Amino acid sequence: MRKSEKAEKISDAIGQVDEEIVAEADEKRISGNKEIRNAKTEIGVIRSGKKLWIPVVSAAACVAVVGALVLGGGENGNISIDSSETSLPGSLEGMESSDLSVHVETLAEAEYPVMAHYPNEDDCFDENGVWQDELAALYYDPWYEQSIERRQAGKNVDDTLNSFFQSTVSEFLIGSDGENRVYSPVNVYMALAMLAETADGNSRSQILDLIGSDSIESLREQAENMWKANYRNDGATTSILANSLWLNESAAFNEETVNRLADSYRAASYRGDMSSKYMTAALRDWLNKQTGGLLGDSVKNVALDPETVISLCSTVYFRAKWNSQFSPENNDYKTFHSPDADIETEFMNNTNDYGPYFWGEDYGAVWLAFADGGAMWLILPDEDKTVDDVLASGEYLGMVKDDYGWEKSKQIIVHYSVPKFDVSSELNLADGLKKLGIIDVFDSAVSDFSPLTEDMDGICVSDAKHAARVQIDEEGCTAAAFTQMVADGDAMPPEDEIYFTLDRPFIFVIMSDTNQPLFVGTVYEP
C-alpha cells in the first residue's frame, strides 16, 4: 500500500471520529472531558514506591485532531464517565460500562462556556428571502463579542512565554538525527502550570522560572488567559482545552489545592481504587475515545498502579479546515530528499496569487491559512542550512508571532508544492526539563509537594514523556498525540512569483487564531 493510500484511510477514519467529537461537544457543553480528543500528557511522581501521575493530554486538528503531551512515568489519563456511551471494542475487557460509574466516583465536572455558533448567512433571511438586519445582529453579535474576548485573552498572554516556547522547542526538537518530531508548547505549558500548583519552594520556583511567571498568582492569570485564548467551539473552529484530576481513594489530599485546580484550571475530579480493574478499564476506555482509537496498541499497555497517588490531566483539541483547500486532481508524485534516501511521495499543489512569502537569515516560509483564523507555517531551510540551524537561531519564532509586522515578506505569486505527511514521535522530556532548570521535582530528597499532601515522604516526579502525531491532506491537517508529562534565506525573492517546493526536510508550526503555537514539528520523511 502506498503512503498516500494509507494516509487517505487514516484521514477518513480520523475525520469520521472528529465529526462525532464535535457533535458530542455541541450536545454536552458541561461534560468534564468529553470534548477533548487525541492527546495525553502525564507527569509521574513516585514516592517510596508510590507514584503521583500528572498526565496532560492534548489534541488538535485542521479538520483534524492534534496531539498531546504526557508528563509521567506511566501511562495514565483523565476519564469521563458516562454509562450511556458505548466504548470502543476491547477497551472495557468485557465489563459493562455502567460498572465504571459505580467504581469511579465523580467529584466535580468542569464547566465550559456555551459558545455562540459561527453565523450562517442563510439564517439572516426571512421566509420571503429578504435580508433582515435584526436576524443578522441576533446571530452575528454574540459570536463577534466572544471572538473579541478570545483575542483579547490572546493579547494578554505575556510575551515572556516566547522564551519558554523557544527554549523548549530547541531542547526537544533539535538533535533528532533525522527522525520526525512533534512537540506542543501550549500542552507542555499547561502541564507544568498544573504541576506548579501541587509544588512549593524551589520545586515550584524552578517551574515558574522556566515558564516565565514571577509568582503562582501571575501563573494562574497567565494560564487563565491561555485557556480563554484557545478555547473555541463555534462550528467554524474547534479548539478545546480541558483538565482533569484523578485521586486515589486511600490517599489524603489538600482540599484547597484540589479545589484550586478545579477553579483555576477547570479540572474535573474523579476518585477510586487505583488497583481496581475497573479503573484501568475506564482509563483505557477514555484513552481510546480521546484518541479515536488511533493509539489502540499503546492503550492496551496502559494500566493504573495501586501505588498511584494522583493523576492530573490536561487536554487540547483543535479542529479547522484550510481556507483554500487543495484539489486532489492537482496532486502529483515528486522525490523527497530525506537524510537516508530519496522517497517518491505524493505532493499537493496550489497557487496563491497574493502570497505572502516570508524569509529569514537561513530559510524561506509560507503559511497555509485555516478557514477562520490561525495557520500552519511551512518553513524550508536554505540549501546550505539544516532544520536544526533554523530551530537554534529562533528567528522563525518572531516571524510566526508577528507575521503582518515581519519586514522580510513580500506579496507575490506563490506556487505551493507540499507533501502529504503523517508524522509522529515520542519524546522523553525528563532530561530536557532538567537541562532547562526543573530539577528538584525529580529528586525525592529535595522535592516539595506540600500543597498537595502533608505526607511528603519521598514524593518526586518519576518521568516525563511526550508523544504526538500530525497529518495533513487536501482538506486540512490532522494530528493526534499520546503523551506518557525553493528560495534562499536573506535574499529577496523573485519579483513576481516563486515556486515553494518542500522536497527536503522542513519545519511546520500550527498557530491558533489567537497566535499561540499549538504544535511545532520537523519533517525529515513524510
Q: In what order do the strands lie in the sheet containing 342-352? A: 332-337, 342-352, 413-419, 497-501
- Helices 216-230 and 201-211, interaxial angle, to 10°? 40
Q: Among 242, 288, 246, which Cα is nearest to 269's?
A: 246
Task: Concatenate the DSSP letters of all residues of 444-485 into one string.
Answer: TTT---TTT-S--TTEEEEEEEEEEEEEE-SSBEEEE-----
DSSP string over 192-237: HHHHHHH--HHHHHHHHHHHT-SSHHHHHHHHHHHHHHH-EESSS-
Supply 93's cell numbers. Answer: 475487557
**Which tops the pLDDT comparison, 454 or 138?**
138
Which percentage of the chain shows pLDDT scores above 70?
71
Which residues fall within 8 angstroms of residue 101, CB to CB, at 6 or more apart?
81, 82, 83
The predicted-structure confidence for 269-322, as pLDDT tens digits, reads as follows 778 888 888 877 777 776 666 555 655 666 666 666 777 777 777 777 777 788
All domains of the chain, ordered by start, with CATH? Answer: 36-321+424-471 (3.30.497.10), 328-420+486-523 (2.30.39.10)
Identify the weakest region by mean pLDDT among 236-240, 333-337, 518-522. Answer: 236-240
Could you tell me how many residues make up the chain?
Answer: 526
* Confidence label for 488 from pLDDT (cuts 50, 70 and 90): very low
423 pLDDT higher than 80: yes
Residue 129 grid coordinates: 428571502
Percentage of residues in the chain having pLDDT higher than 90: 29
Q: How far, in Å, CA of 373 to CA of 462, rounded?
A: 39
* CB within 8 Å of 438: residues ≥ 6 apart: 192, 206, 207, 210
Do 486 and 519 touch, CB atoms closer than 8 A? no
Within 231-351, residue ranges assigned H as helices are 255-265, 277-290, 296-299
Give the residue carrying C-alpha cell 519586514.
407
The 10s digit of each residue's pLDDT in 394-422 is 999 999 988 878 989 988 999 999 999 98
Predicted local distance difference test score (pLDDT) of residue 111? 80
| Cell numbers found for residue 376 | 500552519
In the prediction, which pLDDT does 179 show? 94
> What's the rounded Cα separation, in Å, for the pair 158 and 318?
22
Q: Which residues contact 393 (CB under 8 A, 6 or more apart)?
A: 360, 361, 362
Threshold 0.85, pTM exceeds: no
Taking phi first (over 0 means left), then psi (-120 to 50 degrees means alpha), and beta for anything else, what does residue 477 get? beta
Determine the Cα–Cα distance for residues 226 and 241; give it in Å rounded to an integer: 9
Amino acid at 120: N
Structure-model confidence comparison of residues 382 and 134, the more confident one: 382
Residue 39 pLDDT > 50, yes or no? no
167-175: average pLDDT: 95
What average pLDDT does this structure show over 60-72? 32
The residue with cell 493504573 is 304
- Average of pLDDT values for 176-191? 89
For residue 13, count other CB atoms closer than 10 A to its CB: 14
Give yes or no for a contact between 103 and 279, defined as CB atoms under 8 angstroms apart. yes
